């Protein structure tokens, strides 16, 4: 019952909400945390969405080695930037729970050791109580670069084209930890969508042949650590090209 009341109150908003929630003693929801290493080995972040329509919540984020000395370190918290154009506070309910990046909390874990189990504890605290997210990870398993940038596609003739891109600029140790790349391209033929995955490639450009004249293709690229640590990045935003029907 309390949960229903809380949800209702969360939607109503305002100050009465704080008082009521505090007296009802309903703790905040457990934060939905996601952690990844965007530049191996020294840039690791966790993020979680700001819960919509709830009383002011703050977070305590700590981490420690699972098997080491019981020393907890602070994860450096970066609150969501509220400078975006979307008016979050004025619109009362509906779709604003879809977590845009401006409503994400982040925290940074500096100087993690290699091949070490860590436990992270992200605790949401507000007047009604607190709830902790606990998880363990090893740096090597959570590697996920940012997507490649500057994807460019140019047609060479009616059947072939060249795709090129640049590594994610946030991956700062490229010479020590090189990346490899995968390409996905998609097209439609009489309404039926098809796609092809290619790679991995260690270079940042590829020539593709045997394509169909006059067809529109959509290209995306992802980046992965060369020795297969972790996952491929998100796909880059798509770039489309229509091959010429006849020789230029
Ligand atoms: C990570 O290492 C690279 C190169 O060693 C350095 O340029 C960068 O500033 C470091 N980043 C952080 C957050 O320490
Ligand atoms: C909002 O913040 C982001 C990064 O925090 C920044 O890139 C952007 O320019 C800011 N926008 C405005 C309108 O200040
Ligand atoms: C997680 O952190 C909170 C806040 O610091 C603390 O109260 C709680 O005991 C911690 N949980 C564990 C399992 O360490
Ligand atoms: C990757 O995509 C997911 C889902 O679209 C999104 O939530 C996340 O912020 C993206 N990560 C990066 C690093 O762009
Ligand atoms: C491809 O690009 C053109 C022009 O930029 C755009 O009008 C079209 O909607 C795009 N096609 C797809 C499938 O995104």
**Per-residue b/e over 147-171, b at no fewer than 16 CB within 10 Å?**
bbeebebebeebeebebbbebbeeb
CB 166 near ligand 2, within 6 Å? no
Per-residue pLDDT at 102: 53
Residues 135 and 187 in one domain: no
- The residue among 90, 116, 141 that closes a domain is 141
The pLDDT confidence band at residue 248, using thresholds 50, 70 and 90, is low
Mutate to test the pocket of ligand 2, among 45, 47, 79, 83 (most ligand atoms within 8 A of CB): 83
Per-residue pLDDT at 232: 98
Residues 123 and 36 in one domain: yes
Whether 140 contacts 229, CB under 8 Å: yes
Residues 167 and 107 in one domain: no
- Which of 59, 50, 42, 145 lies closest to 98 in space, CA to CA? 50
Q: Is residue 80 part of a domain?
A: yes
Residues 135 and 153 in one domain: no
Q: Is residue 247 part of a domain?
A: no
Domain with residue 135: its CATH number is 2.60.40.10
Report percent pLDDT > 70 for the chain.
81
How many structural domains comprise the chain? 2
Beta strands in the chain (DSSP E): 34-39, 43-49, 58-65, 73-74, 76-78, 104-108, 117-126, 129-138, 149-155, 161-166, 179-189, 192-201, 205-208, 216-225, 239-242
pTM for this model (two decimals)? 0.80
Q: Is residue 157 part of a domain?
A: yes
Count other Cβ atoms within 10 Å, centred on residue 181: 25
Q: Is residue 155 part of a domain?
A: yes
Q: Is residue 22 part of a domain?
A: yes
Per-residue pLDDT at 87: 41
Q: How far is the CA of 204 from the centre of ligand 2 (A)?
A: 30
Residues 223 and 183 in one domain: yes
Give the span between the Cα atoms of 41 and 74, in whole angstroms. 18
Omega within 30 of 0 (cis) for the link into 144: no
Q: How far is the CA of 180 from the centre of ligand 3 (A)?
A: 39
Residue 26 tokens read as: 């309903």
Q: How far is the CA of 101 from the centre of ligand 4 (A)?
A: 8
Whether 126 contacts 24, CB under 8 Å: no
Q: Report the Cα 144 to chain-centroid distance in Å.
A: 9
Per-residue pLDDT at 4: 44
Which residue puts its alpha carbon closest to atom 4 of ligand 5? Answer: 240
Residue 220 tokens read as: 């995306």
With a CB cutoff of 8 Å and minimum separation 6, the contacts of 207 are 156, 160, 161, 162
| Mean pLDDT for the stretch of residues 204-215 | 95
Which residue puts its alpha carbon closest to atom 13 of ligand 4? Answer: 146
Residues 136 and 172 in one domain: no
Residues 75 and 14 in one domain: yes
| Full residue range of the structural domain in which residue 16 is found | 5-141
Does 13 score more than 50 pLDDT? no
- The residue among 104, 119, 141 that closes a domain is 141
Per-residue pLDDT at 24: 63
- The residue among 89, 111, 141 that closes a domain is 141
Count other Cβ atoms within 10 Å, centred on residue 68: 11
Does 9 score more than 80 pLDDT? no
| Residue whose tokens read 């966790």 | 46
- Which of 236, 233, 217 lies closest to 180 in space, CA to CA? 233
Q: Is residue 248 part of a domain?
A: no
Question: What ligand has the least distance to the C-alpha of 37?
Answer: 4
Residues 207 and 233 in one domain: yes
Mean pLDDT computed over every residue of the chain: 85
Residue of 206 and 85 predicted with greater confidence: 206
With a CB cutoff of 8 Å and minimum separation 6, the contacts of 212 are 159, 187, 243
Q: Is residue 122 part of a domain?
A: yes
Residues 9 and 124 in one domain: yes
Q: What is the pLDDT of residues 94-128, one digit of tens each?
A: 333 344 445 899 999 988 999 999 999 999 999 88
Give the span between the Cα atoms of 98 and 161, in whole angstroms. 37
Question: What ligand has the least distance to the C-alpha of 129?
Answer: 3
Question: What ligand has the least distance to the C-alpha of 122?
Answer: 3
Residues 52 and 96 in one domain: yes
* Atom in ligand 5 nearest the alpha carbon of residue 188: 13
Does 22 score more than 70 pLDDT? no
Residues 160 and 96 in one domain: no
CB 132 near ligand 3, within 6 Å? yes
Question: What ligand has the least distance to the C-alpha of 134?
Answer: 3
Q: Is residue 41 part of a domain?
A: yes
CB 240 near ligand 5, within 6 Å? yes
Q: How far is the CA of 168 from the centre of ligand 1 (A)?
A: 14
| Mean pLDDT for the stretch of residues 4-19 | 45
Residues 9 and 91 in one domain: yes
Q: What is the pLDDT of residues 123-170, one digit of tens each?
A: 999 988 999 999 999 999 999 999 999 999 999 899 999 999 999 999
Whether 92 contacts 11, CB under 8 Å: yes
């Amino acid at each position: 019952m309390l949960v229903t009341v809380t949800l209702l109150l969360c939607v109503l908003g305002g100050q009465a909400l704080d008082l009521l929630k505090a007296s009802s003693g309903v703790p905040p929801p457990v934060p939905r945390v996601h952690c990844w290493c965007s530049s191996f080995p020294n840039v690791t972040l966790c993020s979680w969405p700001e819960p919509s329509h709830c009383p002011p919540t703050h977070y305590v984020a700590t981490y420690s080695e699972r098997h080491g000395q019981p020393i907890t370190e602070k994860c450096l918290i970066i609150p969501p930037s509220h400078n975006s154009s979307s008016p979050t506070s004025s619109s009362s309910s509906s779709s604003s729970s879809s977590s845009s990046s401006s409503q994400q909390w982040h925290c940074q874990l500096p100087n993690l050791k290699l091949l070490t189990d860590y436990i992270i504890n992200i605790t949401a605290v507000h007047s009604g109580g607190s709830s902790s997210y606990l998880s363990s990870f090893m740096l090597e398993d959570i590697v996920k670069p940012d997507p490649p940038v500057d994807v460019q596609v140019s047609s060479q003739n009616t059947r072939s084209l060249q795709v090129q891109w640049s590594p994610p600029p946030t991956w700062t140790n490229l010479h020590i930890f090189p990346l490899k790349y995968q390409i996905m391209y998609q097209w439609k033929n009489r309404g039926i969508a098809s796609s092809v995955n290619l790679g991995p490639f260690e270079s940042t450009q590829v020539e593709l042949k045997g394509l169909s004249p006059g067809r529109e293709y959509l290209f995306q690229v992802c980046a992965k650590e060369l020795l297969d640590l972790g996952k491929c990045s998100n796909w880059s935003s798509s770039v489309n090209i229509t091959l010429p029907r006849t020789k230029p």
